[in-house]
Amino acid sequence: MSKKKSSGGFVFSTDPDFRPEEQEQQISAVTPERQVLRIWLERVRGGKEATVVKGFAGPQERLEELGKLLKSKCAAGGNAKDGVIIVQGDHRDKVLKLLLDLGYKNVKKAGG
């Protein structure tokens, strides 16, 4: 069997006024004050730790910018995709302070 590539769930619209860009505008309308972010500490292979920020709602470009800023301020590696920012190492306190300074009001450390 051949695998078909998904088109993101959109197949066809009979509405002549349909604009898929409107969905992206709604996502970008979420301000930092209204974001609900949780900071987790997760253990990955080999017993290494990673600080994970979950719950980001916004365009991928903003997520990548925020991830790049957090990684540079913590002097660590990581990645940012699918609404999740991963920073290598235990940097929960520093990430919490940075996010609060950036205007994210609803940020908490979660987990154990």
Please determine, for residue 87, whether its predicted confidence score (pLDDT) is greater than 90.
yes
Please determine, for residue 25, whether its predicted confidence score (pLDDT) is greater than 60.
no
Is 12 a domain residue? Answer: no
Is 53 a domain residue? Answer: yes
The range of the structural domain enclosing residue 39 comes to 34-109
Query: How does pLDDT run across 33-75, given as a tens digit for each residue?
Result: 888 999 999 998 888 999 999 999 889 999 999 999 999 999 9
Is 20 a domain residue? Answer: no
Is 55 a domain residue? Answer: yes
Query: How does pLDDT run across 75-86, given as a tens digit for each residue?
Result: 999 999 998 999
- SS3 state of residue 87: strand
Q: What 8-state DSSP symbol labels residue 15? A: -
Is 15 a domain residue? Answer: no
Q: Residue 39 is part of a domain; what is its CATH number?
A: 3.30.780.10
Is 66 a domain residue? Answer: yes
Number of domains in the chain: 1
Please determine, for residue 13, whether its predicted confidence score (pLDDT) is greater than 80.
no
